Amino acid sequence: MAPVDVYEAMRTTRAVRRLRSDPIPDDVLRRVLEAATWGPTGGNRQPWRVIAVRDAAKKSRLQQLYEAPWRAYSAAHREALAAAPSDVNERDARMLAAADHLASHLGEAPVILVFCFNARLMAITDSVLDRPSVVGGASVYPSVQNTLLACRAEGLGCTLTTLLCIAEPQVKELLEIPQEWGTCAFVPIGYPVGRGHGPVSRRPLETMAYADAWGEPLR
C-alpha cells in the first residue's frame, strides 16, 4: 500500500455506495479498524466498540432492516428536490440513485461495520441545553472518520450512514449488543464498482468559516 498524503486522503474521501462483493483481506480490515482506535475520545475513555459483520445472513437482515426507513427517507428527499434549483436537483438525484442501489445491495458488501457507544462512559456537556444534544458524538465520530480515511488509503469504498439507528432494537438483538450500548454508525465497505473515491463536492470555505464573530469573513 503506497503512502497517501493526509490532505489528499481527506480531499478525496467521498461516499462510495456501489461496492463489489469481493472479500476484504483480514490484514486490510485490521488496519482500517486500528485507525479507528486512534480517534480522540472524551477523557480518552474510548466509549465505543465496532462489530465487523461478515456473516451473510446477518448482512442480509441488516439490508432488510434498512430498506423501509430508506424508502421513507428517500421519498421525502425526492419530494423536497422537486422544489430545488435544477443543479442541486441533478447532483442530489445522482446521490439518491446511488443510495437506492446501496439500499438494494447492502447485504452484498463484504463487511458492514456497526459502531456502538455507551453513553454512561461519556460526559455529555450539552445534555441540559434546550436543543438536540450532539456532544456524545464527539467520542465516536472522529473514530468513524478515521475509518473512512483508512478505507480511502486502502482503496476501499465506504459510506457513513446512521439510518439503521431507527431499527436499533432489532439490530441490537441481531448482533447481541448489551442493553447499555447504543448504535451510532453503519459503514458498509468494499472495493468499489466504479472509480471509487475522488474529489469531494463541498461549499466554498468562505461560506463555512468566519472570523471572530458569526458571519464575519475570514481574512
Output 35-38 pairs: Cβ under 8 A, ≥24 positions apart: 35/146, 35/147, 35/149, 35/150, 36/143, 36/144, 36/146, 36/147, 36/150, 37/143, 38/143, 38/146
Q: Integer distance in angstroms from the first to the last C-alpha of the chain?
A: 39
User: At a CB cut-off of 8 Å and minimum separation 6, what does 186 contact?
Assistant: 62, 112, 113, 114, 115, 160, 161, 162, 163, 164
Question: Is residue 21 involved in binding a copy of itself (CB under 8 A)?
Answer: no
Q: Does 58 bind a copy of itself (CB under 8 A)?
A: yes
Q: Are 19 and 193 in contact (CB under 8 A)?
A: yes
With binding defined as CB under 8 A, does residue 46 bind a copy of itself? yes
CB 153 to a copy of itself: min, Å: 5
| Residue 72 near a copy of itself by CB under 8 A | no
Query: Are the beta carbons of 178 and 168 closer than 8 angstroms?
Result: no
Indicate the helix (H) or strand (E) that contains 51: strand 48-53
Q: Report, in Å, the least distance between residue 94 CB and a copy of itself.
A: 11
Output the nine-digit C-alpha cell for 81. Answer: 428536490
Question: Residue 27, interface with a copy of itself (CB under 8 A)?
Answer: no
Amino acid at 26: D
Query: Which is closer to a copy of itself, CB of 73 or CB of 105?
Result: 73
| All cell numbers assigned to 176 | 447481541
C-beta of 97: minimal distance to a copy of itself in Å?
A: 14
The span of 17-25, 28-36, 102-110, 190-198 binding a copy of itself (CB under 8 A) equals 28-36
Cβ proximity to a copy of itself, 119 vs 193, nearer residue: 119
Q: Given the rule CB under 8 A, which of 17-25, 54-62, 101-109, 189-197 is the region that contacts a copy of itself?
A: 54-62
State the Cα–Cα distance between residues 105 and 31, nearest whole angstrom.
25
Find the shortest distance in angstroms from Cβ 194 to a copy of itself. Answer: 18
Within residues 102-141, the interface with a copy of itself by CB under 8 A covers 116-117, 119, 122-127, 129, 131-138, 140-141
* Min CB(183)–a copy of itself separation in Å: 8
Please list every residue from 139 through 198 that binds a copy of itself, using CB under 8 A: 140-142, 144-146, 148-150, 152-153, 159-160, 162-166, 168, 175-178, 181-182, 184-185
In the complex, least distance from residue 179 CB atom to a copy of itself, rounded to whole angstroms: 10
